[in-house]
Amino acid sequence: MPSTAVRTIDYDAPRDQLWVTFVSGKTYVYDRVPPDVYDAFVSAPSKGTFFNRFVRDRFPHRQVKNAS
Protein backbone atom coordinates (compact mmCIF):
# COMPACT_ATOMS: atom_id res chain seq x y z
CA MET A 1 0.00 0.00 0.00
CA PRO A 2 1.39 3.43 -0.88
CA SER A 3 2.19 5.73 2.00
CA THR A 4 0.26 8.93 2.54
CA ALA A 5 3.35 10.53 4.16
CA VAL A 6 6.46 9.04 2.54
CA ARG A 7 7.06 9.13 -1.21
CA THR A 8 10.46 7.42 -1.45
CA ILE A 9 13.04 5.77 0.81
CA ASP A 10 16.64 5.29 -0.28
CA TYR A 11 19.71 4.08 1.58
CA ASP A 12 23.40 4.77 1.04
CA ALA A 13 24.93 1.75 2.80
CA PRO A 14 28.61 2.82 2.68
CA ARG A 15 27.65 6.08 4.43
CA ASP A 16 24.81 4.75 6.63
CA GLN A 17 22.57 7.48 5.23
CA LEU A 18 18.82 7.17 4.94
CA TRP A 19 17.19 9.43 2.34
CA VAL A 20 13.49 10.11 2.77
CA THR A 21 11.32 12.11 0.38
CA PHE A 22 7.92 13.02 1.73
CA VAL A 23 4.75 13.54 -0.28
CA SER A 24 5.28 17.27 0.28
CA GLY A 25 8.33 16.96 -1.98
CA LYS A 26 10.84 17.72 0.79
CA THR A 27 13.83 15.39 1.06
CA TYR A 28 15.85 14.78 4.20
CA VAL A 29 18.99 12.75 4.77
CA TYR A 30 19.42 10.97 8.11
CA ASP A 31 22.97 10.07 9.16
CA ARG A 32 24.26 7.03 11.07
CA VAL A 33 21.16 4.94 10.36
CA PRO A 34 21.90 1.22 10.77
CA PRO A 35 20.98 -1.08 7.88
CA ASP A 36 18.46 -2.96 10.03
CA VAL A 37 16.48 0.25 10.59
CA TYR A 38 16.36 0.82 6.82
CA ASP A 39 15.27 -2.80 6.21
CA ALA A 40 12.52 -2.52 8.81
CA PHE A 41 11.40 0.83 7.38
CA VAL A 42 10.94 -0.46 3.84
CA SER A 43 9.12 -3.53 5.19
CA ALA A 44 6.84 -1.61 7.57
CA PRO A 45 3.13 -1.73 6.72
CA SER A 46 2.83 1.96 7.73
CA LYS A 47 5.82 4.03 6.61
CA GLY A 48 4.60 7.14 8.44
CA THR A 49 4.12 5.34 11.73
CA PHE A 50 7.52 3.64 11.47
CA PHE A 51 9.20 6.93 10.59
CA ASN A 52 7.64 8.72 13.56
CA ARG A 53 8.56 5.95 16.02
CA PHE A 54 12.01 4.91 14.87
CA VAL A 55 13.58 7.63 12.72
CA ARG A 56 12.23 11.11 13.48
CA ASP A 57 14.31 12.90 16.12
CA ARG A 58 16.57 9.84 16.58
CA PHE A 59 19.29 10.53 14.01
CA PRO A 60 21.18 13.64 12.91
CA HIS A 61 19.47 14.96 9.80
CA ARG A 62 19.24 17.82 7.37
CA GLN A 63 16.99 18.87 4.55
CA VAL A 64 18.52 18.62 1.10
CA LYS A 65 17.60 20.59 -1.98
CA ASN A 66 15.64 18.63 -4.53
CA ALA A 67 16.59 18.58 -8.17
CA SER A 68 14.26 20.76 -10.22
1 in a structural domain: no
pLDDT band at 2 (very low <50, low <70, confident <90, very high): low
Query: Is 90 exceeded by the pLDDT of residue 35?
Result: yes
Count: domains in the chain: 1
Predicted pLDDT at 13: 97
Rounded to 5 degrees, φ, ψ at 30 are -110, 125
All residues at 6 or more sequence positions from 44 whose CB lies less than 8 Å from its CB, including other chains:
50
Domain range holding 16? 6-64
Mean pLDDT for 12-25 is 97
Instruction: Quote the mean pLDDT of the chain.
Output: 93
38-52 residues labelled b (16+ CB within 10 A) or e (exposed): beebeebeebeebbe
Give the integer Cα–Cα distance in Å for 4 and 67.
22
45 in a structural domain: yes
CB of 34 within 8 A of CB of 45?
no
35 in a structural domain: yes
50 in a structural domain: yes
pTM of whole model > 0.85?
Answer: yes
Distance of CA 61 to the CA centre of its chain: 10
